[in-house]
Amino acid sequence: MDYYKILGVARNASESDIKTAYRRLASQHHPDKGGDTTRFQEIQTAYETLSDPNKRQNYDNPQQHFSFNFGGSPFSESQNIHDIFNTFFGRGFGNPTPQPTRASIWISLRDVYEGGKRVIGLGSQHIEINIPESINDGDQIRYPKLGPGQTDLIIQFRIKPDPIWSRQESDLCRELDCSVWDLILGNSIDVKLIDDRTMTVTINPNTQIDSVLRIRGQGLLNRNSTRGDVLIRLKPKLPNRIHPDILNAIARHKN
């Protein structure tokens, strides 16, 4: 199998040329976009080999793989022929370790919060995977034997931006509109959480603009198996019209 031909690059191609060719072909043949899974795996294998300097050197000079030192064997006396072939071929002579299938999927911040089982499309297949809670953007998870031909499936998770919520480690953050009178006089306001539950928060009288309210234990799962907090930044709005009696009272107070 000619990896250079698969990627459509010359044998003296630079790392940048190889990466550019891979990105173009991977996007074109990705199973999620209706591409052929076998073709996509060939592209993945070619790129994994040619993008690694050591693997590329061994691929370009295969005789170096088998340069036995007859003046003194590079293998220990305790190694038998089966161990030697395992060294070269992975799990055994004639039975190389299959390359994993790789895929990338986008999930929501709510998926990060909830975790759990999801069904995804991989080419013409639909498979069920488990999303770990509080996974980070770019994390890769290996799912044994879930890929085509029972290969391992490695999924890279990308997290879509949320229009309301943002993430600060294990805390979930959002802004909340309120009235300036809520800050001055105090009030109780209902807040919808990321999983659509509603909780009531209390704004104390004389609260300052851009103050942050905290709901403890309603954020993302952290390393200690406890949850972070929900942080709510108050964004007060002035009323369109203020009653003249209020303006007069403010004026008298200033004087």
Residue 134 CA to residue 141 CA, distance in Å, equals 13
The tokens for 111 are: 């998926």
Supply the pLDDT for residue 83. 45
Q: Are 102 and 83 in contact (CB under 8 A)?
A: no
Q: Where are the domains of the chain?
A: 3-105+141-158, 166-237
Residue 231 CA to residue 9 CA, distance in Å, equals 51
Supply the pLDDT for residue 243. 67
Residue 49 CA to residue 13 CA, distance in Å, equals 13
User: Do the domains 3-105+141-158 and 166-237 sit in the same CATH topology, yes or no?
Assistant: no
Query: How is 134-167 classified by DSSP, letter by letter?
Result: TPPTT-EEEETT-SGGG--EEEEEEEPPPSS-EE
Fold for the domain defined by 166-237: HSP40/DNAj peptide-binding domain (2.60.260)
Per-residue DSSP letter, 115: -
SS3 state at 101: strand
The end-to-end CA distance of the chain, in Å, is 88
SS3 state at 167: strand
Fold for the domain defined by 3-105+141-158: Helix Hairpins (1.10.287)
List the one residue out of 144, 145, 138, 119 whose CA is nearest residue 130: 119
Q: What is the pLDDT of residues 169-202, one digit of tens each?
A: 999 999 999 988 899 899 999 999 999 999 999 9
Supply the pLDDT for residue 123. 77
Exposure of 112 by Cβ count < 10 A (0-12 exposed, 13-18 middle, 19+ buried)? buried
Q: What is the pLDDT along the chain (255 residues), one digit of tens a residue?
A: 788 988 999 989 898 899 889 888 888 887 667 777 778 778 888 888 898 887 888 778 764 333 333 333 443 433 444 444 444 444 444 556 788 989 889 999 999 999 999 888 887 788 899 999 999 999 999 999 988 888 899 999 999 999 999 999 999 999 999 988 899 899 999 999 999 999 999 999 999 988 999 999 999 998 888 999 999 999 988 777 776 766 666 666 665
Per-residue DSSP letter, 227: B
> Is the CA virtual torsion 117, 118, 120, 126 positive or negative?
positive
pTM of the model: 0.57
Supply the pLDDT for residue 122. 80
CB contact set of 41 (below 8 Å; sequence gap of 6+):
99, 101, 148, 151
SS3 state at 242: coil
Supply the pLDDT for residue 173. 95
Amino acid at 165: W
Half-sphere exposure of 93 (CA within 13 A, CB side): 6
Residue 186 CA to residue 179 CA, distance in Å, equals 10
